[in-house]
Amino acid sequence: MRTVGPWSGTSTSRPAPARRRARGGPNAAGDGSAGSLRRATVAPPRQGRLGTPWATTSRRVATRHGRSPPMHERRSHPEDTSACRAVVVAAPAKVNLHLEVLRARADGYHEIETILQTVSLCDEVRVELRDRGAGGPPRISLSVEPFGAAPESPLNLVWRAAELFCRTCGLGGDLGLKLTKRIPTEAGLGGGSSDAAAVLVACNRLYGTGLSLERLEELGAELGSDVPFFIRGGTQVARGRGTDLQALPAITKGKFLIVKPDIALRTSDVYAGLNMGLTLRSPKVNIRTVEALIARFPTGSWFGANRLEDVVLPTQPALQRLVQSLRENATVALMCGSGSAVFAVYGDERRRELARQEAVQPGWYAWDVDPWPGGARVRDDTDRE
């Protein structure tokens, strides 16, 4: 995976953007709070160290290349109930290959229909069980790299995920969490939700509880609308408020490009801008049609659109120009969720390279990524008991 960005890995730390709430709900967990659409005053967190399959680096001009994890690399299996003392989990980003908002719900969320795909831009979550204890509330500590990229407190969704898991399973102990951020915030890439899913997967392995993927998804739904998807990952249709998942044939090909402009958008603001009232839209995803399109992906046509572009693009001319630029010669190019990141998929490397050169401006980030074949995935566990 290649990254292009304006800051090197040795640049000084910058303040992190504010977190926003999970999509569409008044009490949903997520990455921030309500406010107006605004320009970013800070940059996405710089990239992590080299040496892991999902690590990236960024330099002002030159770039370096890493390898995406192989398709056969193992992920967390609920049936593996042998406990260990530390687990490292890769938490992938996602893109929306299609996103329709069907209606506003009485509970404050929105009914949606979206096609989600995990990609190989990943945060890293390390969870260490220092002491099992004798029950009671867990003792949790959290460190975040780079410093300031996310709260080191119960405001962080990873902290709340650990608390929820232990409370649900009646477990305690001393848990040390370390979060290495590579997925930018306020981008629509789902980094906070993916990190929370990674903690649930890690705790399931650490404590040897053997919860099924379905049970982990239920816990994830208590934390945020996107969290269940990141438990399962891959290529999925998500309905309801985003928690009702249906698997699609896996997308394994395509030259994906993600571009993050120096613009920050809050999910709650974008959904509020829809002003749907009593509007009711019809679902557009026909499973058989989508399966046929995936079989030819990325060389054929694609039907997807993102309804939230109707809110964002008229207010963000630079973002609108970016989307239009990336759509030239792309199979699909859409805003990621509520933005401000935009992705495009090309049939070959030459077209992706040309698109990057023409679209990316100084101060913006760009990632060459691949489809990621699952959700949050255990990379390493140590000191197995």
Question: What is the number of alpha carbons within 13 Å of residue 99 lying toward its C-beta?
Answer: 25
Q: Which two tokens stand for residue 280?
A: 């009711």
Sign of the C-alpha dihedral computed for residues 94, 95, 100 and 103 taken in this order? positive
Q: Which two tokens stand for residue 76?
A: 């967390």
Task: Specify whether 260 is catalytic.
Answer: no
Catalytic residue among 226, 262, 370, 381: 226
Catalytic residue among 94, 181, 255, 260: 94
- The set of catalytic residues is 94, 226
